[in-house]
Amino acid sequence: MKFEECWAPVILDDGQCLIYGPRLGRLYLLGAAAAQDRSLLQLLGLAQDQRHPGVLADLAENIACDRANLKYLPLRTPTPAMRRAYRALHGARHLLNLRTLARWVARAAGTRPAQGLSIADIGQRLHGLEKHADFGNCYPRALLSAYFCLREKLPCQLTVGVLAPTRKMHVWCTSAALLPYEPLPEHYLYQPLWRLAISP
Residue type, 163: L
DSSP letter for each residue of 114-166: -----HHHHHHHHHHHHHHHT---HHHHHHHHHHHHHHTT--EEEEEEE-TTS
CB 65 within 8 A of CB 128: no
* pLDDT recorded at residue 74: 80
Q: What is the pLDDT along the chain (200 residues), one digit of tens a residue?
A: 999 999 999 999 998 999 999 999 999 999 989 999 999 999 999 999 999 998 999 999 999 999 888 877 888 888 899 999 999 999 998 889 999 999 999 999 999 999 999 999 999 999 999 988 888 899 999 999 999 999 999 999 999 999 999 999 999 999 999 999 999 877 789 999 999 999 99
Give the Cα separation of 126 and 72 in Å (integer). Answer: 16
- Tell me the sheet residues that pair with 30: 17
Do the beta carbons of residue 56 and residue 7 sit within 8 Å? yes
| Residue ranges of domains in the chain | 57-199
Q: pTM score > 0.85 for this model?
A: yes
Distance CA 170, CA 172 (A): 7
Can you say how many angstroms the Cα of residue 19 is from the centroid of all Cα atoms in its chain? 16
The pLDDT value given to residue 76: 81
Eight-state DSSP code of residue 93:
T
Give the pLDDT of residue 100: 95
pLDDT value of position 198 = 98
Query: Contact, 123 vs 165, CB < 8 A?
Result: no
**What is the predicted pLDDT for the residue at 171?**
96
Q: How many CB atoms lie within 10 A of CB 85?
A: 19
**Tell me, what amino acid is at 132?**
H
